Homo-oligomer: A and B are copies of this chain.
Amino acid sequence: MSSPHLCSYADRADKHKNPAARALLQLMVKKKTNLSVSVDVTRKNDFLAIIDAVGPYVCLIKKTHIDVLEDYDQTVVEELQALSKKHEFLIFEDRKFADIGNTVALQYSGGIYKIANWAHITNAHAVPGPSIVTGLASVGLPLERGLILLAEMSSKGALTTGTYTEEAVRMARARRDFVIGFIAQHRMEGIGARETDDLTDEDFLILSPGVGLDAKGDAMGQQYRTPAVVVTECGCDVIIVGRGIFGTGRDIDVKEVQKQAQRYQTAGWEAYESRLSK
């Protein structure tokens, strides 16, 4: 087989066995977008206004942990779900689970957020070892959810390198029913593979943060790359963009935010088409 990123999103949707991955790929084809907007703001009104503005242009809304919302209440989730239906995008709670199996199962299913009830996709660090996937899968699989593992991080000095990344991919490979891909900066198929591994139809979605058309980096070590680099050259599937689209996020200018979202949508999709035509 050819590497999955050289197949169309549509073909990959047909083959994928995880319902959340399939739904995401189908949305991407239907809306012609591989853009995910990362909505890292602290006020509920800003949060919902940004999502309503960018909704038509995205396949996925990523929230960098809902616990940064100062005025969170149950209506946030209800309104987020309504927007998800209105604009047809999936919800990705960027929880970055990072604890042992028993604990993450509680954090995922319970508490006041009950993330598993409304987030189609969530993510986790590989650092605690396989029990984190087992714990999350016990909650998420019956709800047809998908999990993303952090195989790489784009911040300076991140420890997600070498054997760390290999072990993360091995953990994913062992649970392909639930782990649908990675937060990473390039393809992960075959990484850390052993001779006895069955790699048939291995298709991990690569979601890549740190994407920007303008900015070069911030004061706290975040680094940026363009959609062409991320999608065409590195083969990533979903570009994650934040402040490049909505600026400070406070009292947004809807038209301007939509203009930026459309700009990233176009750049991301052209990069994908360019990859397919290679």
Contact = CB atoms under 8 A, between A and B. Distances in A.
A46 interface: no
B159 A129 contact: yes
Given A102-B220, A135-B220, A218-B102, A127 B158 contact: yes
A12 to B, nearest CB: 28
A194 to B, nearest CB: 15
A189 to B, nearest CB: 20
Interface of A: 40, 42, 64-65, 67-72, 94, 96, 98-103, 105-107, 110-113, 125-132, 134-135, 150, 153-160, 162-164, 167-168, 171, 218, 220-222
Which A-B residue pairs are the 10 nearest by beta carbons? A129-B157, A101-B220, A131-B221, A67-B111, A98-B98, A129-B158, A68-B106, A100-B155, A96-B98, A131-B220
Given A130-B221, A159-B168, 13 more contacts: A68-B111, A72-B111, A96-B99, A100-B155, A100-B220, A100-B221, A101-B155, A127-B127, A128-B153, A129-B159, A131-B155, A159-B164, A159-B167
